[in-house]
Amino acid sequence: MKHKLTLVALMALLAMVACNPRPKVATYLDPNAPVEERVEDALARMTIEEKIAIIHAQSKFSSPGVRRLGIHELWCTDGPHGIRPDVFWDKWDQAGCTNDSCVAYPALTALAATWNREASALYGKSIGEEARYREKDVLLGPGVNIYRSPLNGRNFEYMGEDPYLAAQMVVPYVQEVQKNGVAACVKHYALNNQEAYRHHTEPVLDDRTLYEIYLPAFKAAVVEGGSWSIMGAYNYFEGQHACHNDRLLNQILKQEWGFDGAVISDWGGTHDTEEAIYNGLDLEFGTWTNGLTQGYANAYDSYYLAQPYLKKIREGEVGTEELDDKARRVLRLIFRTAMNANKPYGSLVSEAHIEAARQIGEEGVVLLKNDNHTLPIDLSTKPRIAVVGENAIKMMTVGGGSSSLKVAAEVSPLDGLRKAVGESGEVLYARGYVGDVNTQYNGVVAAQDLHDDRSEDELIAEAVALAKECDWVVMFGGLNKASHQDCENSDRFGLELPYAQNRLIEALAAVNDRVVYVNISGNAVAMPWVESVPAIVQGWYLGSEAGNSIANVLVGNVSPSGKLPFTFPVRLEDNAAHSVGEYGGKGKVHYAESILVGYRWHETKNIAPLFAFGHGLSYTTFEYTNASLSSKSIREGGRVWAEVTVTNSGDRDGAEVVQLYVGDNEASVLRPVKELKGFQKVWLRAGESKRVKIEVPYEALCFFDDKAHAWRAEKGAFTISLGSASDDIRATLPLRLR
């Protein structure tokens, strides 16, 4: 329970009056005073011991305030897809509360797949309200590490492979979370691109790659989003751990970007007192977190920024300038959140939040393939629908690492489809395969028993027999939240589907020509049967409303409008990191692919993807006409506008994402064929046309010159491409930089 301001503050003020008949007004307690004045006033009143105390944890998820001064504790919570259930003071296990269930929102890969800034704002608003209601001050999320390899177990928590898309989507999320008086803690800064050996890897890359690919989303979150906190990563960079890294934290984050918030360590990410003092860390969490049962040697006061730091100050080894800066940043965080008297009350598991989860999920679903108009399922025919696959019934909100949740409710794909079909058809189920039967994580137990002792042959035979009798087959497969799939602290072993799913899918396609494969995952998977299956849907991890979101797309209540935020390669070797770079090892990991990540690699090297970045079909069709630029030339610091008329040429309402790419035709340095530099989602009724206008600023033409340490563009010819996907360009326009 947090200290209540009124009683403690009153006692503090009375003590001041007793000692001084004309006390100085306690500005730090005035919620209407400017934050900077409150910070400086509080800092001036604190002892060195109190400053040390507020820069490290006192429990798993909290740090102390200053009881003597009535300054509140700071409480963190895991996100970024929902508010984690409360745990014991010193353990990861649930505390057994009955009021900490939440709404699970779609994983951030699904949010990125909406390509809709308004959806991101709704997401941030909704999850921020839940965090506020639960009296959490810092939401540990969102994550914006770049999707470098489809094997990274934590990709589902991030926003895809493109720095521009991730940057555009993170800003509204951060802004709306913080309107609730809850700090967003953007993570994991930086270069957290693999989970295997995550404490022992050191990415090796040049500054151009760092600034063009791996930093833009973090910079946008700080500079445009105004994020109040940021979390360091586990890995090394340039010989130092990312959680106390002079280059990343001091030079880039705080000096170049002007970050005035607090840098929070990832749990267990702090390793050295001296580095933590000087290299930019402000608030230490998770070091030897069990502070009660293991005694003083591992207690919170023994954290690197606790007694060891205080001892260095007392013995004159270090000064207090760095301590004041850390305390100042933590106080600023406290006054913006825990002691923000003007923040709203928030709400928990409201109808509005459930609706938001469903709506975002529907927008994120991507229709990858739809031959012969297999989808949507025509309910007017009273169809018999065979649903196959463990992922049709498995709860996906439990597991996966720190993003695991305790939800008030979770709608499975099977239940969602049964609800959507209603009396208009019949939905039957066959297991098809047995994958991960674990149903609990950190004390959260899913109310289902997934054990099934039947053999692979028996399961496939049952599914095939059912498929023969039905009009449609909907196979829910993919990955899950178990180790070595989509899960923190482990990576996948390969691109292939697990649990003999390929064999099952091929068997289903052999007996029914209306097979729909729904891939539940946060990662790309190999699809060797792609030509045999007429309809393929990317279903993601969609949270509490997963079943309803997917079902509404499958039966046509919603026309799909999601677009892939990363490339699906045909083979793992087609991915740049696995072709010329290094991945998954311990120690130095060389990013030899440089800036050619994702579609940049595929297009520059002319390697056809399975499904391209930005790809996503609809139940209607869209035509692009009359593309134009406001000017055929641009100068340094200038901007032009690209315009195109988009027409819904089909007979259903729908939404299209117009994507703008820039290519440098005369570059003297390596440049990708094209790079995403703008997008706009537009909703159109059947037959309706709209003029879409997208800004092209000078900055969109630039690359990072690592020798000059500056962004610049070379004069000459550029191409502006407008299209529906990176491999589906509908119009090209010449532009000259003069």
Give catalytic residue positions: 266
Asked if 385 contacts 460 with a C-beta cutoff of 8 angstroms, the reply is no
Pairing assessment for the beta strands 587-590 and 201-204 based on DSSP bridges: parallel
Main-chain dihedrals φ then ψ at residue 430, nearest 5 degrees: -135, 140
Q: HSE on the CB side for 586, CA within 13 Å?
A: 3
Residue 399's closest CA among 441, 450, 437? 441
In whole angstroms, what is the distance from residue 8 CA to residue 413 CA? 50
Listed in order, strand segments (DSSP E) in 364-462 are: 366-370, 384-388, 426-430, 440-441, 444-445
Q: Which amino acid is at 704?
A: F
* Rounded CA separation 100/97 (Å): 6
8 Å CB contact between 231 and 245: no
User: What does the alpha-carbon distance between residue 397 and residue 598 come to, in Å, rounded to a whole number?
Assistant: 28
Instruction: Find how far residue 383's CA is from the centre of its chain.
Output: 38
Q: Which region holds residue 197: left if phi is over 0, alpha if psi is between -120 and 50, else beta?
A: left
* Residue 271 · residue 219 · CB < 8 Å: no
Distance CA 694, CA 735 (A): 14
Q: DSSP 3-state assignment of 624?
A: strand
Q: Left if phi > 0, otherwise alpha if psi is -120 to 50, otherwise beta: which for 185? A: beta
Least Cα distance to 336 among 9, 35, 2 occurs for 35
CB atoms within 10 A of CB 574: 19
**64, 37 Cβ separation under 8 angstroms:** no
State the Cα–Cα distance between residues 575 and 607, nearest whole angstrom.
9
Rounded CA-CA distance 618/202 in Å is: 42
Residues contacting residue 487 through CB under 8 Å, at least 6 positions apart: 153, 154, 195, 399, 400, 401, 481
Answer positive or negative: Cα dihedral of 154, 60, 90, 94. Answer: negative
Pairing state of beta strands 426-430 and 440-441?
A: unpaired
Other Cβ atoms less than 10 A from the Cβ of 451: the count is: 7
CA dihedral (479, 393, 386, 560) positive or negative: negative
Helix (H, G, I), strand (E, B) or coil at 613: coil
- Angle value at C-alpha 232, between 231 and 234, nearest 5 degrees: 130
Token pair 């949507």: residue: 376
Q: Convert 657-668 to b/e letters by CB count within 10 Å (16 or more is b).
A: bbbbbbbbeeee
Close Cβ partners of 438 (under 8 Å, ≥ 6 residues apart): 399, 482
Residue 366's identity, in one-letter code, is V
Which residue in 193, 141, 114 sits closest to 598, CA to CA?
193
CA–CA distance, 649 with 338 (Å, rounded to integer): 52
The enclosing H or E element of 427 equals: strand 426-430
Cα atoms in the Cβ-side hemisphere of radius 13 Å centred on 266: 20
Rounded to whole angstroms, how far apart are CA atoms 272 and 312?
13
Cα 617 from Cα 166, distance rounded (Å): 21
Outline where 212-263 has alpha helix (H).
Answer: 216-223
